[in-house]
Amino acid sequence: MSSTGKDFLETAIRRLKYYKELGDKTFAQLDEVDFYYQPNAASNSISVIIRHLHGNMLSRWTNFLMEDGEKEWRRRDDEFEVHSCSKEQLLELWEKGWDCFLQALEPLKKKDLKKTIYIRQEALTVVDAINRQLAHYPYHIGQIIYIARMIKNEDWKNLSIPKGQSQDYNSNTGIKDPARKFG
């Protein structure tokens, strides 16, 4: 694989694992009831977002080189309905989605990156499909974190550089990119 293709896959996977970890660290701070909190009627709960990510990941990345990424068995509208699941069940859905996604990405080779795949009958290169998810999944993980911060308020344990500590962080030596640990 050319260094460009190899670098792209390695950095994409590393970034995605970092965002997954942010979700994992958020979930560790939450009680089961917190997964169902909705800031208002038009907003999604963390539970709904997890179910949506799970459905999207399974649909997009199951046999993604051979089948359209919008599978007939996917029930996208149902992902946005409230379902009664335990925290454990929601975390199982989270892990199952990520396992499917990462297991689809990790064996890719240079020749795969230029292949054409389809999502809702729209042609995309594999690179574009990965980039699409690099925007989509962190978008929803940001929503999860934002909701969790509202719930936890003063009890929130920061996932990055705490307020007022940027100068100390920047003056320390070592790797500053938290995603590097996944490399």
| C-alpha to C-alpha distance for 130 and 148, rounded to whole angstroms | 27
Do 116 and 124 touch, CB atoms closer than 8 A?
A: yes
Determine the 3-state secondary structure of 115 from DSSP.
coil
Average pLDDT over residues 70-76: 93
pLDDT tens track for 151-160: 999 999 999 8
Whole-number pLDDT of residue 19: 97
pLDDT above 90 coverage of the chain, percent: 77
Residue 1: the pLDDT is 45
Nearest to 100 by CA among 131, 129, 61: 61
Domain chopping of the chain, boundaries: 3-156+175-182
This prediction's pTM: 0.91
Q: Using CA atoms, how far apart are residues 35 and 48, in angstroms rounded to an integer?
A: 8
pLDDT of residue 140: 98
Quick one: average pLDDT of 95-123?
Answer: 95
What's the pLDDT tens digit per position in 30-39?
Answer: 999 999 999 9
CA-to-CA distance for 57 and 18, rounded, in angstroms?
16
- Residues with Cβ within 8 Å of residue 69, at least 6 apart in sequence: 59, 60, 61, 117, 118, 119, 120, 129
- Residue 173: the pLDDT is 72
- Record: fold of 3-156+175-182: Four Helix Bundle (Hemerythrin (Met), subunit A) (1.20.120)
What is the per-residue pLDDT for 170?
78
How much is the pLDDT for 167?
Answer: 81
Distance CA 37, CA 135 (A): 24
What is the pLDDT at residue 71? 94
